[in-house]
């Protein structure tokens, strides 16, 4: 249910007031609710169960695409047998970093934090981040390698239809 709310918020099909609705329900009502206020959107478009959501409020428009572009970075290890191996390993690390950055932008990041406090002082503070997503059709636009650092510019085209 958490991920469907994030995805729906990303697509703009939920309003902020609907996020505070009963999150324990397994399914959302797909039929539009009765609304008392007139919609201020052009063409009076009702596309969400909670009432009026204009196309201008969406992050991703219907029948439109959005390009997500990131720059992944990777460093070559110091113990390599050849410069070619150093380049290959750094490029692979940069591509993996690029995929992670794309997943973070599209899907979001889960952040968990914990603090251990003893005698009114912080003894230990840990923050964990995680992202779980499937990234398909990411394109490598440009690759640069200098002084053991490889930078890979990657982009992915996200369409509204991909989330339906």
Closest CA to 114 of 128, 100, 132, 126: 126
* Token couple for 80: 């390599």
pLDDT in tens, 107-152: 899 999 999 999 999 999 999 999 999 998 999 999 999 999 999 9
Residue 162 has pLDDT above 50, yes or no: yes
Domain boundaries, the chain: 2-57, 65-163
**H-run or E-run covering 150:** strand 149-159
Count of CB atoms situated within 10 Å of the CB of 38: 8
Strands 110-118 and 121-130 turn out to be: antiparallel
Cβ contact 77:89 at 8 Å: yes
pLDDT band, residue 160 (cuts 50/70/90):
confident
Give residues with Cβ within 8 angstroms of 4, minimum separation 6. Answer: 28
For the segment 40-65, the average pLDDT, to the nearest whole number, is 58
For the chain, the C-alpha Rg in angstroms (whole number) is 22
Phi and psi of 161, rounded to 5°? -65, -25
């Amino acid at each position: 249910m958490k991920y469907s709310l994030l995805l729906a918020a990303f697509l703009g099909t939920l309003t902020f007031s609907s996020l505070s609705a009963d999150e324990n329900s397994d399914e959302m009502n797909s039929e539009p609710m009765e609304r008392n206020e007139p919609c201020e959107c052009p063409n009076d478009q009702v596309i969400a169960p909670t009432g009026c959501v204009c196309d201008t409020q969406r992050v991703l428009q219907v029948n439109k695409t959005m390009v997500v572009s990131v720059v992944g970075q990777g460093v070559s290890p110091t113990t390599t047998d050849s410069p070619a191996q150093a380049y290959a390993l750094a490029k692979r690390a940069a591509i993996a970093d690029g995929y992670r950055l794309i997943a973070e932008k599209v899907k979001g990041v889960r952040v968990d934090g914990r603090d251990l406090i003893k005698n009114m002082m912080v003894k230990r503070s840990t923050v964990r981040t995680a992202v779980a997503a499937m990234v398909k059709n990411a394109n490598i636009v440009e690759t640069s390698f200098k002084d053991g650092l490889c930078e890979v510019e990657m982009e992915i085209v996200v369409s509204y239809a991909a989330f339906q």
